[in-house]
Amino acid sequence: MKRVVIEGSQWGDEGKGKITDYFSQKAKIVVRFQGGNNAGHTIVFNGQKYALRLIPSGIFHKGTTCVMASGMVINPEAFLEEVEVLKSAGFDTSKLMVSDRASVLFDYHRTLDGANERALDKGKIGTTGRGIGPCYTDKSARIGLRMGDLVNKTTLEKRLKNAVEFKNRELKSFGLEELNFKEVFKKYSALGEKMKPYVTDTATFLQKEVKKGTKILFEGAQGAMLCLTYGTYPYVTCSSPMANSIPLSCGIPCSSIDYVLGIAKAYTTRVGEGPFPTELFGDFADELRERGHEYGTVTKRPRRIGWLDTCVLRHAGAISGISGWAVTLLDVLTGVDEIKVCDKYVYEGKDVYTIPATLEEYEAYEPHYITLKGWKEDISKAKTFEDLPKNAQKYLKTIEKLTGIPIALFSVGPDRKQTVVLTDPFAD
């Protein structure tokens, strides 16, 4: 396999960072294809913890090229800060490429993200507040700026003037202070200068590498249920974390994808508002949250906790064509007496196996569970499937059976070494 995708299969925070880091050792190029600094990957190695929001995890491997593709929204200030942190920790950032077609996320996008949320009041989405939605909105409204515009003073001046006019009307409607074009231009033309060494035509670069048969890892952010089209709309992000969006976001042919690794946490979490049929409340949910350190990497918000929902996994699997699962945080379930798995929903007395289009309907779905016996043995040192207690093996087998997709690997702790690979997606 040459081109492998890491896709979150739930509502994000499935532990993609660790799995991406693991496989980026095998790839020559690691690509992020959507989202912005709403994502937060935590990677642990050599006892050190690193948090990345924008830059692909491949940056930790010497010689790996990291690409931030056209489908991303990039806050240049946040990007340059991340570069500085990595540089001062001794990592090489010279092989970092930013697409000239990626969208520029401005300060005013963050301001408007906050204003939109306040205006929605009780109906708020619970965004990360990083300006992601307003930036993608501008892209669709054709008043956004691309990285290629940012690094060219003449285009920047022209396009920014237009954008600021539009944004001032919007800010005014919220009763917020209007932007001073000269100030905004000054700040962003300076940032554009600093971005110059990184900005390039990544689509043409990737097309050539695909043709050559280079091993490429595509690193998804967020999760399938936060997809703008197939997620729990409107409680979603404004891009598609699904593998389907990669060809377009990267400018490569549809046939480029060889293997989609679906990352599924052994239970479910979600941050922000929106439906969550298998959600748990009370002491047990609190206990799992503490054990799994389930607090947002970006916003530090406590994550909502629930049982594993295989309807969600089948939904992601069917749309993205998931080839195998990476089950993460299996160790967090150690010591739980009885583990529940949602195999279907019940709606108006009927069994339902799929995710509906409307929120109102989804909110009325009742989860149906099968109950499995838990395990008490420490699994954190497991090196093979057979090292797992029988009940943990049964849990993984149940996921395979209910989704019809094999387990490719599972993870039993935060360290790189605590990963048991059954099928290597990059193997020939």
Question: What are the structure tokens assigned to 418, written together?
Answer: 């605590």
Q: Does 147 bind ligand IMP (CB under 6 A)?
A: no
- Three-class secondary structure of residue 242 per DSSP: coil
Q: Does 221 bind ligand IMP (CB under 6 A)?
A: yes
Angstrom distance (rounded) from CA 176 to CA 346: 46
From candidates 86, 97, 125, 305, binder to ligand IMP by CB under 6 A: 125
Min. distance of Cβ 123 from ligand IMP in angstroms? 13
From candidates 9, 10, 222, 403, binder to ligand IMP by CB under 6 A: 222
Give 147's contacts (C-beta < 8 A, 6+ positions apart). 74, 98, 99, 100, 101, 102, 103, 104, 195, 199
- Active-site residue, from 21, 41, 113, 309: 41
From candidates 133, 251, 292, 324, binder to ligand IMP by CB under 6 A: 133
Q: Does 128 bind ligand IMP (CB under 6 A)?
A: yes
Q: Does 329 bind ligand IMP (CB under 6 A)?
A: no
Min. distance of Cβ 18 from ligand IMP in angstroms? 14
Angstrom distance (rounded) from CA 371 to CA 50: 37
Of 57, 247, 74, 251, the residue nearest 151 (C-alpha):
74
Question: What b/e string do you get for 59-73 counting C-beta neighbours within 10 Å, with b at 16 or more?
Answer: bbbeebbbbbbbbbb
- Three-class secondary structure of residue 50 per DSSP: strand
Min. distance of Cβ 133 from ligand IMP in angstroms? 4
Angstrom distance (rounded) from CA 29 to CA 108: 33
From candidates 55, 96, 226, 408, binder to ligand IMP by CB under 6 A: 226
Of 77, 75, 41, the residue nearest 56 (C-alpha):
41
Q: Does 245 bind ligand IMP (CB under 6 A)?
A: no
The label of the residue with tokens 């293997």 reads 259
Q: Which one, 299 or 391, has the nearer CB to ligand IMP? A: 299
Ranked by CB distance to ligand IMP, the top (closest) residue is: 272
132, 36 Cβ separation under 8 angstroms: yes
Angstrom distance (rounded) from CA 153 to CA 167: 20
Geometric angle at alpha carbon 104, from 99 and 105, rounded to 5°:
135
Q: Which one, 72 or 271, has the nearer CB to ligand IMP? A: 271
Q: Does 126 bind ligand IMP (CB under 6 A)?
A: yes
Q: What are phi and psi of 339, to 5 degrees?
A: -110, 130
Min. distance of Cβ 306 from ligand IMP in angstroms? 14
Q: Which stretch binds ligand IMP (CB under 6 A): 178-186, 207-215, 232-240, 347-355?
A: 232-240
Min. distance of Cβ 226 from ligand IMP in angstroms? 5
User: Is 201 part of the annotated catalytic residue set?
Assistant: no
Min. distance of Cβ 411 from ligand IMP in angstroms? 18
Q: Does 302 bind ligand IMP (CB under 6 A)?
A: no
45, 21 Cβ separation under 8 angstroms: yes
Min. distance of Cβ 144 from ligand IMP in angstroms? 15
Q: Does 71 bind ligand IMP (CB under 6 A)?
A: no
Q: Which stretch binds ligand IMP (CB under 6 A): 67-75, 145-153, 190-198, 233-241?
A: 233-241
Length of the chain: 428
Q: Does 130 bind ligand IMP (CB under 6 A)?
A: yes
User: Is 41 part of the annotated catalytic residue set?
Assistant: yes
21, 217 Cβ separation under 8 angstroms: no
Give 287's contacts (C-beta < 8 A, 6+ positions apart). none
291 membership: H or E segment, kind and range? helix 283-291
Q: Which stretch binds ligand IMP (CB under 6 A): 32-40, 71-79, 387-395, 397-405?
A: 32-40
Q: Which one, 38 or 403, has the nearer CB to ligand IMP? A: 38
- Residues involved in catalysis: 13, 41
Residues that bind ligand IMP (CB under 6 A): 11-13, 38-40, 125-128, 130, 132-133, 221-222, 226, 235, 237-238, 271-272
